[in-house]
Amino acid sequence: MNDGARIAQRARFKVFLGMAAGVGKTVAMLREASRVRDEGVDVVCAFVETHGRPGTERELGALEVIPRRRVMYRGVPLEELDVEAVLARRPDVAIVDELAHTNVPGSARARRYEDVEALLDEGIGVWSALNVQHLESLHDVVLRATGVDVRERVPDRVLQRADEVVVVDLSPDDLLARLRAGQVYPGARVERALQGFFRADNLAALRQLVLREVANTVEDHARATLRATRDDEAREARTADAERVMVSMSSAPSATRALLHQGVRLAGGLNSRWFVVYVRTPGESPARIATPALRSLTENLRLAKEFGADVVRLEGRDVAATLADFARARGITHAVFGRTRNPPWRDRLFGSVLDRFMRLAPAVDVLVVGSHDPHGGSP
């Protein structure tokens, strides 16, 4: 297939999703790769992480392996996916394991999912593996359910781009049996894993998240297919009545990530466009706002863009009125606010931004996100 035809038909993206390490995602990918290779598909292993597990290494079989890119970091030799080598080889499908991986500093792209996007954009199909706890919008849910703060996270838009999501399922009891048998981690790590992340209640919660996430993905794809089959007139009518979500962001964004997670989930459920809106008041000019707050605000605006939101910066003395004007102008149907941190007497005396917005924009449904921080409320 020539390059132009490959890109024109759009590369397909397949994700093998599981609840935790050890359920068999990589093995499932490799077995499927061997099957399609026998059917004539040009498939290569661009980066496969076996973790030294003999069963996984056996599944590599006769599959072609692209040599990894060697990088020295602080005097330590490390290996990364060689995107340029894969592009030069131009297979039909590249197996790229560990989608949530963070690349060595100084790499062309910071994260492996960005490498995968680069391959897809060049017309190369990709199969990859992901554990559900690495999804960005589930960070707070996973933290509450398991007590584990997952640091490496993948934007939901990456999973939403997948043409197919394959659930690699295993019961918590069977996974724990694998762990105790030394099939997941070496012996020294087993007991620590059993006492930490791999508790039975954690695994049960993560398994439920996998099933829910796949159900959401299937529903999203079904809606997308339905939209694609409707004619232009129906699409125009639907656009006029489309749901739109707005997340109100403040300059004291201690809980803004929770607002963003709610916003992306709400917009995904409604299959709608969504906006993150920050209103800068005269007292919040760059010269007057505290440096930590400015740094946090900038980071949260960057994160909002990564989530796929349209980020809008407005200026105004009256935050509620400015937000209400924006909501009317853009046809906002749902708004997400954080719970106020003002003392109750102040809100009763002067009124809160939320109360005033609801009076000024009565047609907008409002979702108020509470704080999970025991030391304070949401902004």
For residues 234 and 91, the model is more confident at 91
CA 105/CA 45 separation, integer angstroms: 23
Q: Is it true that 3-222 and 234-369 share their CATH fold?
A: yes
CA end-to-end distance (rounded Å), the chain: 54
Q: Are 30 and 95 in contact (CB under 8 A)?
A: yes
| Residue type at 302 in one-letter notation | R
Q: Are 278 and 293 in contact (CB under 8 A)?
A: no
Q: Which residues, including other chains, have CB under 8 Å from residue 236's CB and lie 6 or more apart?
A: none
Query: Taking CA 95 as the corner, what is the angle to CA 93 and CA 98, rounded to the nearest 5 degrees?
Result: 145
Least confidently predicted of 165-169, 188-192, 325-329: 188-192
362 pLDDT above the threshold of 60: yes
Q: Which residues, including other chains, have CB under 8 Å from residue 314's CB and lie 6 or more apart?
A: 277, 278, 279, 280, 322, 323, 326
> What are the domain boundaries of the chain?
3-222, 234-369
264 pLDDT above the threshold of 70: yes
CA 101/CA 79 separation, integer angstroms: 12
Query: Taking CA 95 as the corner, what is the angle to CA 131 and CA 304, rounded to the nearest 5 degrees?
Result: 50
Least confidently predicted of 114-118, 145-149, 182-186: 182-186
Q: Are 358 and 366 in contact (CB under 8 A)?
A: yes
Q: Which band of pLDDT confidence, cut at 50, 70 and 90, is reported for residue 221?
A: low
For residues 233 and 207, the model is more confident at 207
For residues 234 and 205, the model is more confident at 205
pTM over 0.75: no
Q: Are 24 and 18 in contact (CB under 8 A)?
A: yes
Gyration radius of the chain's alpha carbons = 23
Of the candidates 306, 304, 260, the residue with the CA atom closest to the CA atom of residue 114: 306
Q: Which residues, including other chains, have CB under 8 Å from residue 337's CB and lie 6 or more apart?
A: 248, 259, 353, 354, 357, 366, 367, 368, 369
pLDDT at residue 21, as a whole number: 86
In eight-state DSSP terms, residue 137 is G
CA 196/CA 150 separation, integer angstroms: 13
* pLDDT averaged over every residue in the chain: 82
Q: Are 332 and 100 in contact (CB under 8 A)?
A: no
pLDDT at residue 7, as a whole number: 44
Q: Which band of pLDDT confidence, cut at 50, 70 and 90, is reported for residue 239?
A: very low
The interaxial angle of helices 187-195 and 172-180, nearest 10 deg, is: 150
Of the candidates 26, 91, 37, 92, the residue with the CA atom closest to the CA atom of residue 59: 26
Locate 263 and state its tokens.
């916003």
- Identify the top-confidence range among 65-79, 190-204, 239-253: 65-79
H or E element: which one contains 43?
Answer: strand 43-47
Residue for token pair 């707070």: 140
Q: pLDDT tens digit string along 76-132?
A: 999 999 999 999 999 999 999 999 999 999 999 999 999 999 999 999 999 999 999
Sign of CA dihedral 89, 90, 96, 101: positive
* Burial of 51: CB neighbours in 10 Å, binned 0-12, 13-18, 19+: middle
Q: Which residues, including other chains, have CB under 8 Å from residue 302's CB and lie 6 or more apart?
A: none
Give SS3 for 284. helix
CATH homologous superfamily of 234-369 equals HUPs (3.40.50.620)
179 pLDDT above the threshold of 60: yes
CA 178/CA 313 separation, integer angstroms: 51
Fold of 3-222: Rossmann fold (3.40.50)
Q: How many residues comprise the chain?
A: 379
| Residue type at 72 in one-letter notation | M
